[in-house]
Each structure stands twice: as C-alpha cells, then as structure tokens.
C-alpha cells in the first residue's frame, strides 16, 4: 500500500470516529498541504466513499451498524461513573429529559434507585431501562426506530418534546470542538434535543473525555447553552478556559 492510499484509508477511519473532517484537520493530522488534503477528499468522493461538505468531508454512507454496536462498550466504566455523578444531582420526583446514546443509558441505570421521576426520552433503550422495576412515568414519541441506537424519530418529535417542561435535561453529544461548540452528527437528533433544552431549567451535558476536541457535523449549542458538564477527566486548559468563560460548572466523575 503506497503512502497516499494509506493516508486515505486513515482518513476514512477518522471519519468513522468523528463523522466530519475539515481540510485543515486533514492537513494537520497527516502533515500535508491543504491542496493535498483537497485532492484526497476528491479521490475519496470519486470512489463513492465520502461526500464533500462545508470545506471538508463526511462519510458518504452511515457507519456500519456492527461497528457502532461494538463501540457501545467503549469507555463503559467511565460512562458508568458519569451516570452515577449525574444521578446524584437529580431529586426524586423531578421532571427530566434524557437524550439517547450509551452515556445517557448509563445515566438511566444510575437513576433506578430514585422515586417518582417523570421522564421524556426518544431512546427506547433508556425508556426500557427506566420502565422496569420503577414507579417512573416515562413518555416517548411515536415514529421510526433508528436501528443503531433505538432512537425514535419523526418530523413531529421536536414538537412532542416541546409540550413538556423539565427540571433538568440530560444530554450527550458527539463532540465539543476547539471553539466551544457542542454538536452531533444527526440533524433530527439535534432538533429534538434543542426542543428539550428550550423547555429545561437546568441542562447537564454528560460526555466522556473522548468527545473533547471533536467537531460534530451539526451544531447543537455553544457552551453558554449548558449549566453543567459531567465528564470522566479534567478538560485541557483551552477547553477549561472556555467552560469557565461560559460559567459552566464542571464535575469530574471519579
């Protein structure tokens, strides 16, 4: 395998992890010029493997579901600690929104000792966890079930979520980039979460440290849109400065 082919294979592997890379990202990661990065993206687009978008590239097809399922075990212990830390901040009887994803599933497991929670979620996995052996009230929207993570979506999902009022919204994201923007890779998911954030008194972002420095495809919010970050490791100095500037409380789960 020549150097160019190896580099393009590595670009595809990175895109499976972060879903979007700018030409500058590729240039810096592989120590090539932006012109070389652009040619790599063009080659991969001609091969049907990527789609050019906003000065960079995203995968032409979704990541294989088998790959995504394998990632469900990534950082499992850290996510469990994050879930327990988030749960400690939730009072019995609270009305809460819980996002989809493995970190939020860990939050749901940690909430099983609570009483009288009223929960809205578009995650069937979260709903199933919370409906077994609890006195919780759990509401989910109708719609089509996403194969990979059992998220439920239809055009009316944000409207459904927007009918509720929450003491707390617990959200997770694909990345927090160097500019302090938090985002995800699915426009429908972002719209649903934004609807919950608008209806919440308090917003808790729960992520493991692998999300620090990642750029997601769709912007959800700036850091000023959240109240607390619960993570498994202390953010690096630049991110910590942005968090402090936005007056975000940081809780490191140990």
DSSP state letter for 135:
-
Q: Name the helix (H) or strand (E) containing 18.
A: helix 3-18
Q: Where are the domains of the chain?
A: 3-61, 70-252
Work out the pLDDT band at 218, boundaries 50, 70, 90: confident
Mean pLDDT of 86-93: 97
Work out the pLDDT band at 161, boundaries 50, 70, 90: very high
What is the rounded average pLDDT for all residues in the chain? 90
Intrachain domains 3-61 and 70-252 with the same fold: no
The pLDDT score that the predictor gives to residue 129 is: 94
The pLDDT score that the predictor gives to residue 193 is: 96
Mean pLDDT of 217-243: 95
Work out the pLDDT band at 80, boundaries 50, 70, 90: very high
CA 193 to chain centre: 10
**CATH ID of 3-61, from 1.10.10.10, 1.10.1060.10, 3.30.300.30, 3.20.20.60:** 1.10.10.10
The pLDDT score that the predictor gives to residue 69 is: 59
**What sections of 47-114 are H helices per DSSP?**
65-70, 76-88, 102-110
Backbone angles phi, psi at 97, to 5 degrees: -105, 135
- pLDDT at residue 65 tops 70: no
What does pTM read for this prediction?
A: 0.76
Work out the pLDDT band at 115, boundaries 50, 70, 90: very high
Work out the pLDDT band at 63, boundaries 50, 70, 90: low
Work out the pLDDT band at 59, boundaries 50, 70, 90: confident
- pLDDT at residue 64 tops 90: no
Question: Mind listing the pLDDT tens digit for each residue in 194-215?
Answer: 999 999 999 999 999 989 988 8
Distance CA 38, CA 91 (A): 51
Work out the pLDDT band at 74, boundaries 50, 70, 90: low
- pLDDT at residue 67 tops 60: no
The CATH number of 70-252 is 3.40.50.1360
Question: Mind listing the pLDDT tens digit for each residue in 4-56?
Answer: 999 999 998 888 776 678 899 899 989 999 999 999 999 998 888 887 876 88
Give the list of residues 6+ apart from residue 141 with CB closer than 8 angstroms, or none. Answer: 122, 152, 153, 154, 156, 157, 160, 161
Mean pLDDT of 218-240: 95
- pLDDT at residue 136 tops 60: yes
């Amino acid at each position: 395998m020549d150097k160019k082919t190896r580099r393009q294979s590595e670009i595809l592997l990175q895109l499976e992890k972060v879903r979007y890379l700018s030409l500058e990202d590729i240039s810096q990661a592989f120590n090539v010029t932006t012109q070389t990065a652009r040619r790599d993206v063009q080659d991969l687009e001609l091969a049907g493997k990527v789609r050019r978008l906003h000065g960079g590239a995203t995968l032409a097809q979704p990541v294989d579901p088998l790959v995504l399922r394998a990632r469900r075990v990534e950082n499992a212990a850290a996510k469990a600690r994050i879930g327990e830390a988030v749960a400690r901040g939730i009072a019995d009887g609270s009305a809460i929104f819980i996002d989809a994803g493995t970190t939020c599933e860990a939050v749901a497991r940690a909430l099983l000792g609570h009483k009288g929670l009223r929960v809205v979620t578009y995650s069937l996995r979260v709903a199933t966890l919370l409906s077994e052996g609890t006195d919780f009230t759990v509401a989910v929207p109708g719609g089509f079930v996403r194969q990979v993570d059992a998220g439920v979506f239809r055009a009316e999902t944000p409207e459904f979520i927007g009918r509720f009022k929450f003491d707390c919204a617990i959200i997770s994201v694909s990345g927090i980039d160097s500019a302090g923007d938090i985002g995800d890779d699915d426009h429908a998911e972002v719209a649903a979460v934004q609807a919950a954030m608008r209806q919440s008194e308090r917003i808790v972002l729960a992520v493991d440290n692998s999300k620090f420095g990642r750029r997601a495809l769709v912007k959800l919010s700036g850091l000023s849109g959240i109240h607390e970050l619960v993570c498994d490791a202390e953010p690096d100095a630049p991110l910590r400065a942005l968090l402090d500037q936005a007056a975000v409380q940081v809780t490191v789960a140990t």
